[in-house]
Amino acid sequence: MYVSSLYKSRAFTLSPVPLYKVRASTANDISSSLHAMKLYLLGLTLLAALVEAIPSSTNSTIQKRGTPKLVFAHFIVGNVNGYTQADWANDIALAAATGIDAFALNIGMDSWTDTQLALAYAAAGITSFKLFISFDFAASPGFSDYSNQIVPRLNLYASNAAQLQWGNGALVSTFSGDGFDWSAVRSAVGHSLEIIPFYQAAQAHQDSTDGLFMWNAWPSQNNQPIDQTMSIAGDQYYQSQLSGSPYMAGVSPWFFTHYDSQTFNKNYLYLSDTLLIDRWNEILNLQPQLVELITWNDFGESHYIGPLHPERPSVYAPNGDSDGAIQWAAGFPHDAWRKIITPYIAAYKNGGPVTVSPSDESIVYWYRPHPKGLSCADPFLGPPTGQSFPADGVWAATLLASPATLTMTSGTFSYTTTAPAGINYFATGMGSGQPTFELVRNGVTITQGTGGLSIDLNSCDIYNFNAFVGSTN
């Protein structure tokens, strides 16, 4: 079963910073047998019938090196064994409306991989939205058998109208696979390729790649949580090693996972209280050639920004071997975070400050369901590593065209302040019940709302450090 693997957190030694504190931040500051092989290739050929039906494009290239920057979202194909083309079309529409240019289709060697690739390319082929494949070497070491696993797929999709063309050709990426030599793949694929994998920075000078992607988008050290905010040290090291070759930076809003030893045996969190906005402010300063949002639909690690699927629980545990991430993701939407991401994408692409139009003024809020120190009646696991790092608070990001007064209340806690124009975040204490939020300008309420999840200060069924995210409109 593919759900993001234990390897999905690379660390760098980060410079010490003061212990975390809540602050307001402005946008500017910021082998199989021969028979099996024949069957496999036949399957790809049959799938090609669907792909060939996709409208052709006189120009599928939407980016060349040195032209406007692009933003992608990492999409876990292993989580969508039951997707239809309509499901793909819905996700594509949501992503495009956010300003995202393409999905990086993370694939393993699941039985449904090629079916879902065909559906995805078919759905994208009737839009301007693009796709590219990200081969997950950590989840599927079998990708080292490139002639049977990588080459056929790239030959099938590299010239597809929905394939993202960037720089030297069809963009290809990976999760892990350090040291893999892409030279033979280039020779076997009948289309030029632009290969930007997630490798460690020491692989930057490998001749068979064109650039690198840094997955690490959370504060960590040696794959362990740390009580520090995110540093740009990793980005700067990659950029220095690449010496001008393309660098793709990762941006993520959150990280919490709670799998027991019978599944993935990972139970930890990274400090993420204000990570989304802090990281985007870093991106505006770094100005990397490409940005990848981590992720669209990795529910297991709680960093999804795409929609929940209450009608399709298989997205939380694709092989049905456990309840999986449904325990901490179901009922915890993250869609409202896309409201924050959209103006940041625009600012990143145009090189200007983050701006908000009057029609988009809103409050985006997020909070956890229980305090970090609460002892839960969890039948499988104890508290996650890093439990003590987050603050017990309720956060609100104001999206404003001009200043307004914010009031946020959570139980007995209340906070009022003047919020500047742009995107800024604020916090108040974690109180019992449903928090409320209001923005007022010149005595008139602009927007207001109540959090959709009640905070419980006294009991919890499982240790859930996922965020409930909502907005006032």
Q: Mean pLDDT of residues grouped by 10 in the chain (473 residues)?
A: 32 28 34 38 42 38 57 97 97 99 97 98 98 95 88 98 96 94 95 95 84 96 92 94 94 96 91 98 97 98 96 79 81 98 98 96 99 94 97 99 99 98 99 99 98 98 98 95
Return the number of other C-beta atoms located less than 10 Å from residue 72's C-beta.
27
Instruction: Read off the pLDDT of residues 239-254 as tens digits, 9 standing for 90 and up.
Output: 999 999 999 999 999 9
DSSP 201: G
Return d(Cα 400, Cα 360) in angstroms, integer.
8
Q: Where in the chain is the domain with CATH 3.20.20.80?
A: 34-350
CATH superfamily of 34-350: Glycosidases (3.20.20.80)
Cβ atoms 318, 106 nearer than 8 A:
no
Encoded tokens for 222: 């040696």
The amino acid at residue 205 is: H
> 3-state class of 222 per DSSP?
coil
Encoded tokens for 428: 């108040």
Q: Where in the chain is the domain with CATH 2.60.40?
A: 358-471
Instruction: Read off the pLDDT of residues 20-59 as tens digits, 9 standing for 90 and up.
Output: 223 333 333 333 333 343 344 344 444 444 444 443 333 3
| pTM for this model (two decimals) | 0.87
- What local confidence, expressed as pLDDT, does residue 10 receive? 32
- What local confidence, expressed as pLDDT, does residue 362 receive? 98
Phi, psi torsion values for 134, nearest 5 degrees: -120, 110
- What local confidence, expressed as pLDDT, does residue 16 receive? 27
- CATH 2.40.50 holds for 358-471: no
Cβ atoms 434, 414 nearer than 8 A:
no
> 3-state class of 301 per DSSP?
helix
